[in-house]
A and B are shown apart, each in its own frame.
Chain A
């Protein structure tokens, strides 16, 4: 299974080649991404999972290893899907820098998910940071440069914390392998453990868009082009969800049961998740820039997902995975369409987007479907996630019950602004002017296709039931499903 390295090496190679390519860059990028996507789907469908791949023959814990489990490969599939879509909706980015950094991002995002080694995790996350910074700054105007610098400063600060955390782990446990750490986590004394967790969490929460670590989010989304938005959301955000599952619920889990080892910090994370949900949904309520609205909503969804992961029972985990999938699909619909709409009207403000839904009903309806799914309305994928998370949280402690109340209250706010915006597209256009640009059919087709999937999962949640169950099962029994894969026979 050493060929799994292709998922990282080929994009990196492509990134190097793109420096010399001219017009062919886009095609090359698409081909590479298509290859990684098809390759990862093939791995996912093959019956060889789970497997640990030692690079260069050096066995774990001394060598570098990649761990391929249903969970990680599933996330790879999602990340590469987002990557392909982000390439298809590119409008105007022709220079090599863009494709080169994009391919680095792809390699890094795949690496984050695949690596079984926390130091490589750090390396890959640094790589994504720089790639994303470059991609945000790509339009080279005041707005994008500012946003990129803001992100860069926050992300670098965070990664220094992450690095210190990893250093402490190495000092105390003498290993950097995630599976190894997971099996030895009980040996640490509580205070050291807490220090490590706080340091590492600080490192990853910036990328996870959690309040108050997320001051970069609205500006970054706002400054980025539509395809960068899809990358930020679909690649970085999805990788973030994987990080929660792997680092928090596998590496720092009690006996591999999917519960964070330190219950107090778990509660603190729930508080942070609740704050994130609350702050982001309220902030989005009165926001006029459509991209910022979506950025806030991304934060909110991330809060919801981490809330679901932190509850720690099977029901909530299932819900959280449903939510990851639903949020992934629905948000991509919205970002793709937003890019089109902004190009059509020449304005960021959703109040100026009247009449689009009348001109392109399919696009309008897809946007509505995406919004409804994010709101957690039945018949759309988001509903099952929300239902299961709330039901799972019911059996939790008082923090979780408070969380439910906050989720339900913010659902009202969220519903109001999403439907308000969705309906604006169906208003009559005031002036008879034509739109600045034409909507591109393939974008609308992508959005519509995703909308159909959202609808299908919503009507028939059994479609992805098996996949979600595999993932849930892996988290809940990480000892047998993850540690045993890396170190056969340790338990």
Chain B
């Protein structure tokens, strides 16, 4: 059987299978793990076989011929699909342990359907396949986010309405573009759009605008940056990493697949070194990451905080793509993978915390480092990576994107990038300080470290981010294939060094790691040769031996966590009120609801029926006169 088809069939069949045996949750999740393992393995073997394909002809005519659905193994699709399935594999391992009696979300079958559409999106060769899978992904994701909980269903509704707008624009765009090229093939449609750009600029802009809207919605780029904070926060804890790391990449994938080649090949008006539409994209990315960073800093719910953080990270990726340069795209692809790794690590460690404590508000936690040291370590390395601090992987990609932006002289975009990544430091540390450090509340005195099955994937992720940080070649080598596949001329990248377009600015990351290690050793020696230390209880020091319980308070009340950045927030309050897209959306929703009530009232009144009939006749008569 064709391996491309197997990739689709295996998750599909297991989805129905697991639906039948949904009661045996451990079995279901084990099957889920096995499927993700199979997919990862199959994808791994597919590397380099860029001629694999599969297609089927349906008995449905469009443009005068039968519709064909086809898949192809392209380097770009492979790149995303492989790392997505690797992430899924690790999450799946975590899910087995996570979904016990108390936490079972029963979402495994739908999740398998989502993985099925995931594969379809990344390997689609024609727009129809792409759209089919895209819409399947949107709707299945709705059911997973909602997962039979009232509060989640509300959040999911928000996701769904925005997502459906995205599918609507995508459908319109696909039909317009395929009418233009008289076929659904993606490659042909790129060429015909390039041609359209030379003849009818504004129409072409409208066409790609429709696609870009869809992709921006799915990746939550400004002006659609609001939905993740709701959807990510309320989805099942073990699904959030998938939502945040894999599903936010669909839009990125779409941009690279379709928009970038068009912008690269078309003759467009320039703004500085790059074309205007690309610059627009970069500005959107910049606004997204700045806004999301500011919003993340003020969250008290840790899942919401990292939802905004994901939005900001996708903003970096879009900025990198918009440079249209080899280094920028390399950085963007690299950051996509990095984001998958470190954000999965972060969300999994938080899921472990939630699993043990049942608490999502950061200020109600504290001091968990005493009870869950491994989780703490995973989280620490993940945020070091997320903050873009060497020698972990997040640095390399951020560095590449910054270099590309500077080389293209996109001055204010790169300032926004630096703002966002410095701000990232603020919110990452906020969660670290509030959840893992500080005083341990009494009610969490007895909690344990995360179970083994959770610890394994977290540890693997931790090692992965370190390994990629030290040896960037693990990722840059496959990226070479992707860039070659996209038609860029690239030098084979080295295992240790990353290159940039600026003069004399290449960076050897392995060397950086050595240097940092030597510095660590020096620092450690300083620490070791100095005097002895004594371990004392936290409150012994700063309450000078007084017992807080005697003043009717508990030590954990001393945790400074709730208004962590209060003065800073006051600075931004007027702006936050102004830009509340959320408020705008919900007021729009209210308008629709009111209109809906008014219209249905029209139908419950009997008096107007005949009047309305005559209005209808009037429409017909006037229409006939026109």
Contacts and interface: CB of A to CB of B under 8 A. Distances in A.
Interface string A245-289: 000000000000000001011011101100000010011111100
A167 interface: no
Interface residues of A, number: 78
A359 B587 CA distance: 36
A157 to B, nearest CB: 6
Given A212-B615, A427-B150, A286 B626 contact: no
A283 B603 contact: yes
A468 to B, nearest CB: 9
B619 interface: yes
A379 B59 contact: no
Interface string B604-626: 10101110110111011111111
A166 B613 CA distance: 19
A408 B609 contact: no
A416 B135 contact: no
B131 interface: yes
Contacts of A318: 61
Contacts of B624: 194, 197-198, 262, 264-265, 268
Interface of B: 19, 22, 58-62, 131-133, 135-136, 139, 142-143, 146, 148-150, 153, 156-157, 160-161, 164-165, 168-169, 171-172, 175-176, 179, 592-593, 595-597, 599-600, 602-604, 606, 608-610, 612-613, 615-617, 619-626
B623 A265 contact: yes
25 contacts: A146-B606, A150-B606, A150-B609, A157-B610, A211-B616, A212-B619, A213-B616, A215-B613, A262-B624, A264-B623, A269-B620, A282-B596, A282-B599, A283-B596, A285-B592, A361-B19, A378-B131, A388-B60, A390-B172, A415-B160, A415-B164, A419-B142, A420-B157, A423-B146, A465-B59
Interface stretch (A87-95, A123-131, A200-208): A200-208
A218 B620 contact: no
- The prevalent SS among residues of B at the interface is helix
A272 B619 contact: yes
Contacts of B621: 198
Nearest to B156: A423
Contacts of B136: 377-379
B176 to A, nearest CB: 7
A451 to B, nearest CB: 13
A153 interface: yes
Interface of A: 146, 150, 153-154, 157-158, 161, 194, 197-198, 201-202, 205-206, 210-213, 215-219, 262, 264-265, 267-269, 271-272, 279, 282-287, 292, 296, 315, 318, 358, 361, 368, 372, 377-379, 383-384, 387-388, 390-391, 394-395, 404-405, 408-409, 411-413, 415-416, 419-420, 423-424, 426-428, 460-463, 465
Given A268-B623, A377-B136, A284 B168 contact: no
Given A384-B60, A462-B59, 16 more contacts: A150-B609, A198-B621, A206-B613, A210-B616, A212-B612, A213-B612, A219-B603, A265-B620, A272-B619, A272-B620, A283-B600, A287-B596, A391-B62, A404-B172, A424-B153, A461-B58
B19 to A, nearest CB: 8
* Residue in A361, A423, A461 whose Cβ sees the most chain B Cβ within 10 Å: A423
Nearest to B610: A157
A460 B61 contact: no
B70 to A, nearest CB: 15
Nearest to A354: B150
B593 A388 contact: no
B612 A428 contact: no
A358 B148 contact: yes
Contact of B58 (A197, A264, A296, A460): A460
A254 to B, nearest CB: 15
Nearest to A215: B609
- The prevalent SS among residues of A at the interface is helix
A318 B59 CA distance: 12
Contact of A215 (B19, B171, B612, B619): B612
A388 B609 contact: no
A427 B135 CA distance: 23
Contacts, number: 190
A215 B132 CA distance: 36
A264 B619 CA distance: 11
A286 B179 contact: no
Contacts of B139: 372, 377, 415, 419
Nearest to A216: B609
3 nearest A-B residue pairs (beta carbon): A462-B59, A268-B623, A286-B596
Contacts of B608: 215
A279 B609 contact: no
Contacts of A409: 168
A400 to B, nearest CB: 12
B506 to A, nearest CB: 47
A467 B394 CA distance: 58
A201 B153 CA distance: 43
B237 to A, nearest CB: 18
B619 A268 contact: yes
B617 A198 contact: yes
B613 A158 contact: yes
B161 A412 contact: yes
A383 B132 CA distance: 9
A212 B616 contact: yes
Contacts of B610: 153-154, 157
A268 B620 contact: yes
A404 to B, nearest CB: 7
A1 B620 CA distance: 40
A461 B143 CA distance: 26
A416 B613 contact: no
Contact of A423 (B143, B172, B609): B143
Contacts of A286: 592-593, 596-597, 600
Given A213-B612, A391-B175, A411-B164, A271 B60 contact: no
A426 B107 CA distance: 12
Contacts of B596: 282-287
A154 B609 contact: yes
A267 B625 CA distance: 11
B168 A213 contact: no
Contacts of A197: 620, 624
A283 B595 CA distance: 7
A383 B67 CA distance: 14
A219 B149 contact: no
A412 B164 contact: yes
A202 B620 contact: yes
A460 B625 contact: no
A206 B616 CA distance: 10
B157 A416 contact: yes
Contacts of A157: 610, 613
B135 A154 contact: no
A455 to B, nearest CB: 11
A420 B153 contact: yes
A461 B153 CA distance: 32
B616 A411 contact: no
Given A157-B610, A287-B596, A272 B616 contact: yes
B9 to A, nearest CB: 13
Nearest to B601: A283
B599 A279 contact: yes
